[in-house]
Structure 1
């Protein structure tokens, strides 16, 4: 897991909204133009909340809710400026980072999640910082449920949150003595010194999206593919398999972070005493 790169401040996020707004039909555009000062104030409030790491302080606004349908139409009915902005969000990310959904790390991010739910915060429907590329599974699971009953955030904000650069996803590798297949069992482990609120967010994000179960579901097949790659590497005259896996893990860590489930698998396999035997069993 690794944070995403937000769009630069120029053109400003408000200017991007204006470009989208002004492409709407007059029936939608005119009342939104009249509400410009309100939207500008809300964009400033969002920027301040992000700066202060206090998104939960943002409350739904009665005045924007009155024009919710008009604001949400800016997103629901695509215009060229909106398409351009979505494209820009994806293109500014480092190469390969969006090979995986930034929320789960398992599949392609083919949709966008409104981190601040559009049903309560329609003024941020086309706010670049509020549009997170993700997969449909994560999008539908998170839905509008961004806070728990205590008013705490339940999911990482892919732009605003810095993922702690410490290990918290771990895996145990176990060989089935009958089939000779190697299985993977993931778990979360709280690192020493990690602050309570950071850990609660990590634990909640993984729990709500059922990520450990998802990694367990994919883990066995991924182990088999990694071992097959090692076998091919050695058969073609490649060097030490542990060095090969360590290199792949380092490369993926730079792109996806140390806690990406495939990185965790690569690292665990490279360090396991039975690696050579497992490769020969392929």
Structure 2
């Protein structure tokens, strides 16, 4: 018995009779569906809906909706297998803490995958709500990157930021696919960003990050000067791009900072907003 099916078996067995018996009676169907999922990945658009009785559907949904020790162990295992740089943030937006799990194929449509590890993605509440059951567009194309099975093309940077320093520094983000627009992955990435509203969410999150960078530059400037600060920022950008990849909003923001000498000078010349407020009190 393969591990995913063993976990289904453990979760089913933890239920009370007669539900546990009914779930164990569905084990062969679930095994076949797990194999079909794995075979189809990442092109899950082809996965058909499984005809199920209302009772079977309810039992399969109950596997996830009602907490059991085997389910908690499954969730813990999924979290433990995340890379350190991924485990602290939602894998859809890389903004918020992953305090819940999303069913990549919605559990309401595909209840047979309600406790299939390959279908459970640690994510934040915002992304979970935004995804809902809208996993395909009107053309039947997937709307979101599957973090476990999609090959993430990192050869082209398509996420960029611009920083305005007119008053309070403000960053805006944009996607520029350019020649990559014909590549299926970048089309998927564009749908992912659009459906989750990521560009606006990155803009909202960038104020705090810019203030953090402002503070760091201001302190480092006292010791290393302008050239030293820029050198440190370029080293950080290279490391962040290596670890986080070119599609991460923090990479785009840091690149925009280096491309905006006015921001660097502002940070060198003035304390960040929190320090200014303290000085004025």
| Shared fold per TM-score greater than 0.5 | yes
Which residue, out of 117, 125, 130, partners 1:136? 125
- Quick check: 1:58 aligned with 2:62? no
**Hey, what's the Cα distance between the residues in 1 that align with 2:151 and 2:68?**
32
Per the TM alignment, residue 234 of structure 1 is displaced from its structure 2 partner at its CA by 3.3
Task: For 1:30-179, list aligned pairs within 5 A.
Answer: 30-50=21-41, 53-63=42-52, 67-165=56-154, 166-176=156-166, 179=167
SS in 2 for 1:240: helix
1:66-108 superposed Cα distances (whole Å, 9 cap, x missing partner):
5111011111111111111111111111213222211112111
- Quick check: 1:210 aligned with 2:201? no
**Hey, what's the Cα distance between the residues in 2 that align with 1:251 and 1:91?**
24
Return 84-93 or 254-263, whichever deviates more: 254-263
**Matched residue pairs, number?**
268
**Is contact 2:135–2:142 with CA below 8 Å preserved after alignment?**
yes
**Hey, what's the Cα distance between the residues in 1 that align with 2:256 and 2:250?**
10
Per the TM alignment, residue 169 of structure 1 is displaced from its structure 2 partner at its CA by 0.6
Structure 2: gaps of 5 or more residues: 272-281
Which consecutive aligned stretches of 4+ in structure 1 deviate over 6 angstroms post-superposition?
Answer: none
Return 108-117 or 165-174, whichever deviates more: 165-174
Higher helix proportion, which one?
A: 2
Q: What's the counterpart of residue 252 of structure 2?
A: 264
Per the TM alignment, residue 236 of structure 1 is displaced from its structure 2 partner at its CA by 5.5
**Is contact 1:64–1:123 with CA below 8 Å preserved after alignment?**
no
TM-score of the superposition, structure 1-length normalised? 0.88
Task: With a CA cutoff of 8 Å and minimum separation of 6, indicate the structure with the bigger relative contact order.
Answer: 1
SS in 1 for 2:14: coil
Structure 1: gaps of 5 or more residues: 1-9
**Is contact 1:185–1:216 with CA below 8 Å preserved after alignment?**
yes
TM-score of the superposition, structure 2-length normalised? 0.88
